[in-house]
Amino acid sequence: MLRPMSPHVDLSYTVDLLLRLLNTPSPTGFTEGAIALAERELSAMGLQGERTKKGALRWTLPGTSGGRHLTFSAHVDTLGAMVKSIKPNGRLTLTRLGGYDWHSIEGEYVQVHTQAGNTISGTIVLTRQSIHVYADASTTKRDADSLEVRLDERTASDDDTRALGVQVGDFVSFDPRAQHLPSGHIKSRHLDNKAAAAILLAVTRALHGAALPHTVTMYLSTYEEVGHGAAHGIPDTTDELIAVDMAALGEGQNGSEHHVTLCVKDSTGPYDHALGNRLRAVAHDAGIDLRPDIYPHYGSDASAAWAAGGDYPAALIGPGVDASHAYERTHEDALRATADLIVAYVTSP
């Protein structure tokens, strides 16, 4: 049974929405389904979002006069691929969308999204897959040349595959295999960053209609995985930008699947020290165990917004997610803690 997330945010709603987002394909450049889902959720709350020309979605909860304008960003675009070429045997080569290791997608089920709006299922396999046939199957380097998509259709040539409607440039999404387990764990591809998107919508649902001391804008970007998601679209009146994204876990890291993390530095450099300290102080007062951490191979919407000239302090928080950019896992505890921190921060003086 789900425990209450906080007096404000409904954990059951958050997890249900997260699972629906996870099961909505949205590789970078193909995010219409996820953005439309978010718009439907806002409509059910009596709110309406605004799309940027770039395809991002934002909405604002008004605050009292004299308060700050706080913007929170998350992204709905995920890792994925596009069809690079159609091979003479009818199979497909891929080009990556986002920064993942090729070995992490071997054996994954995929959907090819055609220009006609159809989907064709397939599996990512080695070009020399069968261990009974190829002695080097276990030692072959996994890369764009050695992996291909085997379509689940009767196709033995490039002409057969083209007759199915498949073209170079078609988007390819990975099966998330999303599960919510009795232990409270959620495991799936693409928790980066649909976990944060679900949290922002759940926080909105909880706070809509409340008297807030600060104006709060929520921003869902669509190109974060390729580095320029929030380079445009953050409101000009923003006083503080807080990116909400997954916290990477691993040996030597300080976070966990059960906590919210404050990233103080990533590959782009340190985030704003004073804003980070304000988040720490609010977390302390609210009894939230906020874990500071550093990610050496990471960038966020906040760093993209800064690189584009954003003139505001920026910070990065998020739920701990294990095995980032592979088959990921988090826990209800981390969703709860992240939502609690956002609620505590936007309602503090």
Active site residues: 224
Element (H, E) at 57: strand 57-61
Distance (Å, rounded) from C-alpha 120 to C-alpha 330?
Answer: 30
Would you say 232 is a known binding-site residue? no
Could you write out the DSSP letters of every residue in 214-256? SEEEEEEES-GGGT-GGGS-S-TT-SEEEEE-PEE--TT----
Token pair listed for 56? 């991002």
**CA 290 to chain CA mean position, Å:** 21
| SS percent in the chain: helix, strand, coil, step 5 | 25, 30, 45
Q: How many Cβ atoms are within 10 Å of 111's Cβ, its own excluded?
A: 17
Q: Is 328 annotated as a binding residue?
A: no
297 has binding-site annotation = no
Alpha carbon 288 to its chain centroid, in Å, reads: 23
DSSP-derived secondary structure letter, 22 = H
Residue with tokens 């897959």, as numbered in its chain: 129
* Partners of 173 in beta bridges: 111
Buried b (16+ CB within 10 A) or exposed e, 242-272: bbbbbbbbeeeeebbbbbbbbbbbbeeeebb
- The closest alpha carbon to 73, from 253, 256, 224, 267, belongs to 224
In the annotated binding site for Zn(2+), the residues are: 75, 192, 225, 245, 325
